[in-house]
Amino acid sequence: MAPALQASGIVKRYGPLLANDGIDLDVARGEVHAVMGENGAGKSTLMSILYGMQAPDGGTIRLDGVAVRFRSPAEAIAHGLGMVHQAFKLFSSLTVWENIVYGREPRRGPFIDGAAARRAAVALAERYGLAVDPGALVARLSVGVRQRVEILKALYREARVLILDEPTAVLTPPERDVLFAVLRRLVVDGRSVIFVTHKLDEVLAISDRVTVLRAGRVAARMTTRETSAREIVRAMTGRVVADRPDRVSMPQGAALLHAEAITVRGDGRVLVADANLSVNGGEVVGIAGVAGNGQTELVEALVGLRAVASGRVQVNGRDVTQSDVAARREAGLAYIPEDRAAVGTAPTASAADNLAMGFHRRPPLRRGWKLDGTAVRDWARRLIARFDIRIGSERTPVATLSGGNMQKVVLARELSHAAPVLIAEQPTRGLDVGAAEFVHGELLAERARGRAVLLVSAELSEVMALSDRVLVMFGGRIIADLPAAQADEERLGLLMAGRPGVAA
């Protein structure tokens, strides 16, 4: 029997860069097939080719043994492929059922048959255990429920092969478990799932086979039950990567970041309510929470991107409540933002210019009244080498980099400030296991230097591995402050879901 999907000899070039170099991939009917690899290994390029977003320069794609060539995602969808992107493609102003049937609405004469559309959405949801309210407005849904809507969209279009790009990046552990149950129902039904992720434990838990890419080529093909996390990592990186960072106990200093009774308002409602936190020198404090529960707004208030309605913020002993971003930097605050493109970088500027930001007002990058171009380039080259940023040259615009390498530009610049306080928001989002290991080491090195690190991450494993204390946010409030020893995944997951009766 022919594979559900077979890609043979896929080649894709971008000028001198060979992103896909003769990649072969076959996905059987009724399996979850994981695709893993470091940043720049070629995963995103391959998926975009399979889904018709880009044309290959060489190679063939077959569905159920029949050669196909897609000129657009619409053609891929018509042939039975579906894709759930990490950034959801939903209309927030429409209801669940309207999103599911959009573009393929059932008709009654010239009109959309809303009742039939709702029935179709409900039937699909019940069949695959995807609990949704068909009449709910998408703007009001949690991230986990929005993902279910995306999957239902693909199933409504009769997708036989479903590509999931980092599907658990913003899910709580209970939501992840629900997703895995759905995937198991899909494969029992004879559908196939391509599961693109960086999370080794999830690959081992849900996949049947694994294809590992490295430098644009297939580095390994494995049957999941016959391999291990260590073997997968070695195939991805060519070396052994530590399972967990080495976090040793150490004495803590005074509070270097302090927030008292912070309240933030926006859109006519309270986004953060009476939040109190402090981070001592030599301490990592993690914030766990499902996206949309106030973490982003709290961080924006701490770094000066959003005004506080009430409360007080201190950085390194200085009251910065009314200070702008530049003044908070001068007080000793470095910041790795969640949105690396919109906030963390100037995408059209070169890597050298981005790496110089924040250093450009003083020597050695500034000479007299202007920047020293040679010093800026030398500075950028050193950081590019130290942080292993995969880039043609320091003159390359940041917008042309992969998400992981753009993230490394932000990390390199902010960690080089040697500021007393570092706020790191989703610092390893989009990074492969080797790059994430490096970032974890750098954050713990900041802690060892006596600096205060506030870590906000959707990755519970990351929060638990790095933090001395864990705060949990739900509904705009900090509802728990736990020592690391008490912050296990089950307890944090329940708190993140706002479950009552969980001791904090």
Alpha-carbon torsion angle 472, 476, 477, 479, nearest 10: -30
Helix (H) or strand (E) holding 491: helix 489-496
Residue 116 shares a structural domain with residue 214 = yes
Identify whether the C-beta of residue 81 lies closer than 8 Å to the C-beta of residue 74: no
The CA distance from 418 to 445, in Å, is: 11
Question: Which of 237, 264, 280 represents a domain boundary (last residue)?
Answer: 237
Residue 425 shares a structural domain with residue 406 = no
Per-residue CA distances from 237 to 14, 41, 53, 437 (Å): 23, 10, 28, 12
Alpha-carbon torsion angle 78, 81, 87, 88, nearest 10: 60
The half-sphere exposure of 55 on its side-chain side, counting CA atoms within 13 A, is: 5
Residue 72 shares a structural domain with residue 44 = yes
Please give the DSSP secondary-structure letter assigned to residue 86: S
Burial 89-100 (b: 16+ CB within 10 A, else e): ebeeeebbbbbb
Tell whether 243 is covered by a domain.
Answer: no
- Structural domain containing residue 358: 346-418
Question: Which of 209, 237, 265 represents a domain boundary (last residue)?
Answer: 237
For residue 494, the one-letter residue type is: L
The reported pLDDT for the residue numbered 503 is 46
Residue 440 shares a structural domain with residue 472 = yes
Q: Give how many domains the chain has, as a whole number.
A: 3
Residue 71 shares a structural domain with residue 147 = yes
Cis peptide before 364 (omega within 30 of 0): yes
pTM, entire model: 0.68
One DSSP character per residue, 207-259 reads: -SEEEEEETTEEEEEEEGGG--HHHHHHHHHSS---SS---------SEEEEE
Residue 398 shares a structural domain with residue 450 = no
The reported pLDDT for the residue numbered 62 is 95
CATH of the domain at 76: 3.40.50.300
Per-residue CA distances from 405 to 237, 397, 435 (Å): 16, 12, 10
Residues in the chain with pLDDT values less than 70: 170, 172, 239-246, 430, 499-504
The reported pLDDT for the residue numbered 199 is 82
Identify whether the C-beta of residue 43 lies closer than 8 Å to the C-beta of residue 218: no
Tell whether 381 is covered by a domain.
Answer: yes
Signed CA dihedral, 344, 350, 355, 360: sign only: negative
Tell whether 224 is covered by a domain.
Answer: yes
Tell whether 203 is covered by a domain.
Answer: yes
Residue 215 shares a structural domain with residue 174 = yes
Tell whether 341 is covered by a domain.
Answer: no
Helix (H) or strand (E) holding 298: helix 295-303
Tell whether 78 is covered by a domain.
Answer: yes
3-class DSSP state of 172 = coil
Residue 114 shares a structural domain with residue 49 = yes
Tell whether 312 is covered by a domain.
Answer: yes
Residue 397 shares a structural domain with residue 441 = no
The CA distance from 271 to 294, in Å, is: 6
Question: Which of 179, 205, 237 represents a domain boundary (last residue)?
Answer: 237
Tell whether 75 is covered by a domain.
Answer: yes
Residue 292 shares a structural domain with residue 225 = no
Residue 68 shares a structural domain with residue 141 = yes
The half-sphere exposure of 393 on its side-chain side, counting CA atoms within 13 A, is: 3
Per-residue CA distances from 92 to 99, 115, 142, 169, 246 (Å): 9, 21, 12, 20, 43
Alpha-carbon torsion angle 136, 160, 195, 231, nearest 10: 160
Residue 364 shares a structural domain with residue 325 = no
